Amino acid sequence: MLYIVGLGLADERDITVKGLEAVRASERVYLEGYTSILMVEQQRLEEFYGKEVIVAHRETVESSSDEILRDADRINVSFLVVGDPFGATTHTDLMIRAREKGIPVKTIHNASIMNAVGATGLQLYNFGQTISIVFFTDDWRPDSFYERIKENATLGLHTLCLLDIKVREQSIENMMRDRQIFEPPRYMSVNLAAEQLLEVEDARQQHAYTADTIAVGVSRLGSDDQIIRAGTLAQMRDHDFGKPLHSLVLVGHRLHLLEAEILRENAIDLDSLNQVLKRDYDIGE
Ligand SMILES: *[C@@H]1O[C@H](CO)[C@@H](O)[C@H](O)[C@H]1NC(C)=O
Ligand SMILES: CC(=O)N[C@H]1CO[C@H](CO)[C@@H](O)[C@@H]1O
Ligand SMILES: CC(=O)N[C@H]1CO[C@H](CO)[C@@H](O)[C@@H]1O
């Protein structure tokens, strides 16, 4: 059996009981090390699970799926995924390869940012499409998310923005020389995401959002030191959210009374938030 196991959001103890049983019954345990990061060391996972954990980087999952699936028609292999297996990236590729080899696959879910974002007090039913924001470079500033935010905004829906993570990036020089030397990991902050969003709005000028659009910045969701703060996009650009991982929600203009109440509770600055709520948002029952 190939078990694809969601690990939850924060630490080694977020795994479900079912997930832990699968891991303990597996001969080999892989940890997907690229779509996201867990806030704990690999060693703590190994101690808690009582198993060696092999980190599978992007290269490994794509080029060594044979190795990952080796003998899984006879033994159990677990593939651990931070968050939920079907959170941001799906693992369809690995599932298809397993199926081709006649290996049964079982998925064990756990929390991911896609549902944990409900901790902001915004109702999951009122979210539109999720978008990803990547680090802009001098000559690569992809902004296709803009159209999708605009659609959300038209319907008054909230938009979850997943922020870029760069791990195991190689410099051009190291890549050309085929040296396995990697740059330090980078995690996009709420500050940078807000800045890039505002830059795109400045360029497009179609009012999908403005510096006054209300947003909720979150960091380390699911951990003991999580931060959830609401304010305008301009405030998101400056407020300190501390260590990674960060995510951002753009708040749609149709708000339930209770959603507005929790935004106020989490306000960076209550007066300015109230002003914008009153002026730009439709608060209903
Ligand atoms: C695979 O896992 C299942 C359930 O977790 C267990 O019953 C079974 O004995 C395991 N198979 C092997 C070969 O370890
Ligand atoms: C969504 C989900 O299944 N979350 C579970 C993740 O695991 C923890 C602990 O094992 C559970 O408490 C959550 O309910
Ligand atoms: C195009 C559109 O509907 N834009 C709306 C997006 O949401 C803001 C509030 O966040 C509204 O003021 C805009 O009219």
Percent of the chain with pLDDT over 90: 52
Q: Please tell me whether residue 83 adopts helix, strand or coil conformation.
A: strand
Q: Which fold has domain 2-111?
A: Cobalt-precorrin-4 Transmethylase; domain 1 (3.40.1010)
Instruction: Give CA–CA dist 127/251, Å, rounded.
Output: 9
Within 8 A by CB and 6+ apart from 284, the residues are: 254, 255, 256, 257
pLDDT number for residue 86: 59
pLDDT number for residue 115: 78
154 CA → ligand 3 middle, Å: 6
Question: Do 150 and 244 meet the contact criterion of CB atoms below 8 Å apart?
Answer: no
- Nearest ligand to residue 3 Cα: 1
Q: What is the pTM of this model?
A: 0.76
What average pLDDT does the segment 192-219 reach?
Answer: 96
What average pLDDT does the segment 60-85 reach?
Answer: 84
Instruction: Give CA–CA dist 283/285, Å, rounded.
Output: 7
Percent of the chain with pLDDT over 70: 92
Residue 136 has pLDDT above 90, yes or no: yes
pLDDT number for residue 81: 83
pLDDT number for residue 87: 54
Which ranges of 128-216 does DSSP label H, i.e. alpha helix?
Answer: 145-155, 172-176, 190-204
Ligand 1 atom closest to Cα of 27? Answer: 14
Going by the DSSP 8-state scheme, the letter that residue 137 receives in this structure is: B
Asked whether residue 246 is marked as a ligand-binding residue, the answer is yes
Residue 234 has pLDDT above 90, yes or no: yes
Q: Which of 14-23, 63-72, 83-92, 257-266 has the highest mean pLDDT?
A: 257-266
209 CA → ligand 3 middle, Å: 6
Residue 235 has pLDDT above 90, yes or no: yes
What average pLDDT does the segment 233-247 reach?
Answer: 95
pLDDT number for residue 264: 96
Mutate to test the pocket of ligand 3, among 127, 204, 205, 253 (most ligand atoms within 8 A of CB): 253
**CB of 7 closer than 6 angstroms to any ligand 2 atom:** no
C-alpha distances out from residue 280 to 126, 198, 250, 274, 284, Å = 17, 18, 13, 10, 13
- Nearest ligand to residue 212 Cα: 3
Ligand 2 atom closest to Cα of 84? Answer: 1
The CATH superfamily assigned to 114-284 is Tetrapyrrole methylase, C-terminal domain (3.30.950.10)
**CB of 20 closer than 6 angstroms to any ligand 2 atom:** no
220 CA → ligand 3 middle, Å: 29
| Secondary structure percentages of the chain, helix, strand, coil, to 5 | 35, 20, 40
Taking the domains of the chain in order of start, what are their residue ranges?
2-111, 114-284
- The structure tokens listed for 78 are 């677990």
Q: Which of 7-11, 57-61, 276-280 has the highest mean pLDDT?
A: 276-280
Confidence label for 7 from pLDDT (cuts 50, 70 and 90):
confident
- Nearest ligand to residue 75 Cα: 1
Instruction: Give CA–CA dist 259/153, Å, rounded.
Output: 16
Confidence label for 88 from pLDDT (cuts 50, 70 and 90):
low
Confidence label for 109 from pLDDT (cuts 50, 70 and 90):
confident
Residue 35 has pLDDT above 60, yes or no: no
pLDDT number for residue 43: 82
